[in-house]
Structure 1
Amino acid sequence: MLVLPKYGEAALSDLVAAAMAGLEVESARNLLGLPPARRYVVLLIDGFGWNLLRTYATEAPYLAGLADQSGRPLTAPVPSTTSTSLVSLGTGRPPGEHGVVGYTMLVPGTDHLLNTLRWNTTVEPLVWQPHATLLEQAERAGVAVTSVSPKAFRGSGLTVAGLRGGEFVAADSAGQRIAYTAEASARGQRSLVYLYEGSLDWTGHRDGCHSPAWRHQLAATDAFVARLRAALPADATLLITGDHGMLDVPFDRRVDVDSDPRLRAGVYLVGGDPRLRYLYTEPGATDDVVAAWRERLGPDAVVLTRDEAVTQGWFGPVDERVLPRLGDVVIASLGDVAVECAAEFPMEASLLGWHGSLTADEMLVPLLVAA
């Protein structure tokens, strides 16, 4: 029932390097067999899952047509969540190497979490994630590199950690994103543009990914991509992907860590996402915590120790500096279940659409090529 990540074979982390190889950047590897080009635009649509595209193909005729012609699924990293996926995309590395191993994670040596979307601590992004990004490497190779994203992302901790390099162009409307991406793509003899689009994920979290609102947003996104392709230089290749898929979790299918004292016993901190929960345990308590959660969740989740999850390759090779950031216990939800912590993350209780675990709905993202 689990879809394991295909790092170094057919993963989201392999995409930008494949484009760089198509641009003839030395040492970059085209593991995905992308066609060579002088210009690439990598469009990441937040919350754009392969299974959702196939389910609602009639709402997205342009994107579904690309999927039929030459599309294929890639795997997201683990957890299948935005911050981890964006840094994997930007560095070409699995989470165990780059170290952004979730939406929230322990800052080693402390008793608090790093929220990677808000980056609300004094943790320096360049210390947390010291590896050079692929955008930096492409820029050093003489490629005109541009990131087109919302203004709020400029200089953010997540941007610095995983997507630094080249020129940042702020674009808050769909029209701006199309116009500025087309301009950036025309720069230089070779160009690489990263473009972020987040409306689909925002809608899915709040209304659910099978709601009329989500389906209307998918149709709007489809029209956006078709217009973007038409605006790009003729010699540009547009690569369309997502950072994760999504599924709906009914409100009566959530288990709160504080709902039973036995579930909280031995746990001093809760992190991760509702679909891939990290539990940080008191010394000597890990085995008891695993047993309690396996009994509570049964077939609705895979409950592993940190070492078990690492051994199974969920995070790729894990550096020693990264290991303590992972939960001592890792809970990967199956089906339509989630593990909430309303006391620490009150917003979780109000959102319907979720992602983060290793199901096909969450792990498989499209790779669509519009040349």
Structure 2
Amino acid sequence: MSHFAPSNWDEPELLDLTGAPVPEYGTGSLADLLPTLVAGQGVPGFTASIPELTPADRNCVFLVDGMGWEQIKAHPDEAPYLNSLLGTSRGGTGRPITAGFPATTATSLASVGTGLPPARHGLPGYTVRNPATGELMNQLRWHPWTPPKPWQPYPTVFQLADKAGVATAQVSSPAFQTTPLTKVALSGGTFLGRMTGEERMDLAGERLAAGDRSLVYTYYSELDGAGHRHGVNSDAWRGQLMYVDRLVQRLAGQLPPRTALYVTADHGMVDIPFDEDSRIDYDEDWELGAGVALLGGEGRARHVYAVPGAEADVLTVWREVLGDRFWIASREEALELGWFGPPGECDERVLGRIGDVVAAAQADAAITASVNEPNESALAGMHGSMTAAEQLVPLLEIRT
């Protein structure tokens, strides 16, 4: 089976957990990208888990927030340059890889930067329970404050590459320089803040030429914002995709010799209809709330934390109510099936962050919370689950 065209991304049978299309950790996920690249640069301790990628002296990763593989394919007119990279062309190749579960920004960026799956790095969702306090922690906004190092203790790939003598840099918005998420997931080498996309592309090209071996990461977030606010079928989203297409072409035109540029994303996105059948309001549903102490995650990837002793009952009710639209698994089932990483490889400190029950959307539906999450519940576009539209992200390669 091809790593990049997995057969299980077809529509699965409802209620069948074995039909859930599990992320391809170890062979074709975001967590495998940087380890493969730096292994080719001679950084100790890494192996090329995506062996199809040919080593390069200089590597650049351009991550576009919210730009799924399926969305690129669906918009050839808005993204002609990106679509030209979907196959083998321009000295490189283009194919999908899997984001990891849940397909959400904090989780995916931690997977990219640490080279580890969520069950190891410990950021397994948008909001998760902190076992030490019993509170929900927002891992994107890092609220309430939690000491970053104990929460994610592993070194980043950037830190290890920089220590090995690779000229390493992150080129992103200045607003991200000192955030805890950057500290635990993307730090190492030099952070260079630039406001506009054009400035980031130009500086990334310059930094790639800074050493005989270099690793540069750059990031653009506004496509995701347009998708959340207006949906991926909106004019605003299409306009952002057109802009991203031009940014990629601009960066590709500035690559120094012996460089590989990889364009990827942290997740895709789906539009959720604004009706009661598609948006199940947890705050108005007494059945779903029975026996539940905390509701974490986000609309399409929920962590459900049960009152002690009610775990089995909560699992039963959630399956009865939502099993035709969601994959519903216990924590143990989700780990055994490999949702958060290879089975048997969950760090002890991470176990309590994962819900007693985990719900991942199959249909175009979301579990909202109109009272406790009014802003998130009002979003037009959402992500998080394991459908192809959310889980498959591009790995587009351009080489010089």
TM-score by length of 2: 0.90
Point out the more displaced range, 320-329 or 181-190.
181-190
Residue 121 (structure 1) shift: 2.3
Structure with the higher helix share, 1 or 2 = 1
User: Which residue of structure 2 aligns with residue 344 of structure 1?
Assistant: 372
CA contact (8 A) 1:51 1:364 kept: yes
The structure 2 residue matched to 1:4, chosen from 22, 37, 62, is 22
1:175 CA displacement: 2.0
Q: Check the 8 A contact 1:178/1:228 in 2, yes or no.
A: yes
Whole-Å separation in 2 of the counterparts to 1:123 and 1:46: 25
AA in 2 matched with 1:310: L
Q: Please report how far the alpha carbon of residue 350 of structure 1 lies from its aligned counterpart in structure 2 after TM superposition.
A: 1.7
In the alignment, what sits opposite 2:339?
A: 314
Residue segments in structure 1 that go unaligned for 5+ positions in a row: none
Q: CA deviation at 1:109?
A: 2.6
Alignment partner of 1:36 is 2:55 = yes
> Greater shift after overlay, 23-32 or 346-355?
23-32
For residues 134-153 of structure 1, what are the structure 2 equivalents within 5 Å?
134-153=157-176
Q: Deviations over 1:121-152 (max 9, x none)?
A: 23111110001110011011100000111111
Which residue of structure 1 aligns with residue 101 of structure 2? 78
Shift of residue 60 of structure 1? 0.9
Residue 206 of structure 2: aligned partner: 183
Using the alignment, how far apart are the partners of 1:291 and 1:185 within structure 2? 53
Is 1:62 the equivalent of 2:81?
yes
Which one is further off, 303-312 or 227-236? 227-236
Determine the structure 2 residue equivalent to 1:23.
41
| 1:145-184 Cα deviation digits (max 9, x unpaired) | 0011111111211011111111000112112211221221
Identify the residue that residue 101 of structure 1 maps to in structure 2.
124
For residues 163 and 85 of structure 2, the distance between their equivalents in structure 1, rounded to whole angstroms, comes to 32
Structure 2 Cα separation of the partners of residues 143 and 9 of structure 1: 24
Q: Partner residue of 2:4?
A: none
Structure 2 distance, partners of 1:105, 1:175, is: 35
How far, CA to CA, are the matches of 2:150 and 2:127 in structure 1?
Answer: 17
Letter paired with 1:55: A
Aligned counterparts of 2:87 and 2:285: Cα–Cα separation in 1: 48
SS at the partner of 1:68? Answer: coil
- Give the number of aligned pairs: 371
> 2:66 touches 2:227 (CA, 8 Å); kept in 1?
yes
Counterpart of 2:155 (choices 114, 132, 153) is 132
* Rounded Cα–Cα distance in structure 2 between residues aligned with 1:279 and 1:25: 40
One-letter identity of the residue aligned with 1:43: F
Moved more, 272-281 or 296-305: 296-305
User: For 1:227, which of 228, 233, 250 is the aligned residue?
Assistant: 250
The range that moved more, 24-33 or 2-11, is: 24-33
1:164 counterpart letter in structure 2: S
Query: Which residue number in structure 2 is paired with residue 274 of structure 1?
Result: 299
Whether contact under 8 Å (1:16, 1:92) holds in the other structure is yes
- Write the deviation string for residues 28-47 of structure 1: whole angstroms up to 9, x where unpaired: 22222222221111011111
Instruction: Show structure 2 runs of 5+ residues with no match.
Output: 1-11, 13-19
Q: Deviations over 1:71-129 (max 9, x none)?
A: 11101111000000000000110100000011110111323111111112231111100
Identity %: 46
- Residue 302 of structure 1: aligned partner: 327
Distance in 1, Cα, partners of 2:349 & 2:160? 23
Post-superposition Cα deviations, 1:288-308, rounded to whole Å, max 9, x if no partner, equal 112222222231011111111
Give runs of aligned pairs for residues 143-292 of structure 1, distance below 5 A. Answer: 143-252=166-275, 253-292=278-317
Q: Deviations over 1:244-279 (max 9, x none)?
A: 111111121111112121211111111111100111
For the pair 1:13 / 2:31, whether they are aligned, the reply is yes
TM alignment of 1:350-365, pairs within 5 A: 350-365=378-393
CA contact (8 A) 2:299 2:377 kept: no
Residues 135 and 163 in structure 1, CA contact (< 8 A), matched pair in contact too: yes
Residue 342 (structure 1) shift: 2.1
| Alignment RMSD (CA, Å) | 1.2
Structure 2 SS opposite 1:314: coil
Q: CA separation in 1, counterparts of 2:37 and 2:212?
A: 15
1:324 to 352, 358, 373: 352
Structure 2 counterpart of 1:49: 68
The separation in 2 between residues aligned to 1:210 and 1:122, in whole angstroms, is 36
Matched residues in 2 for 1:96 and 1:134: separation? 17
Aligned-pair distance for 1:22? 2.3
Residues 3 and 363, structure 1, Cα contact 8 Å, conserved in 2: no
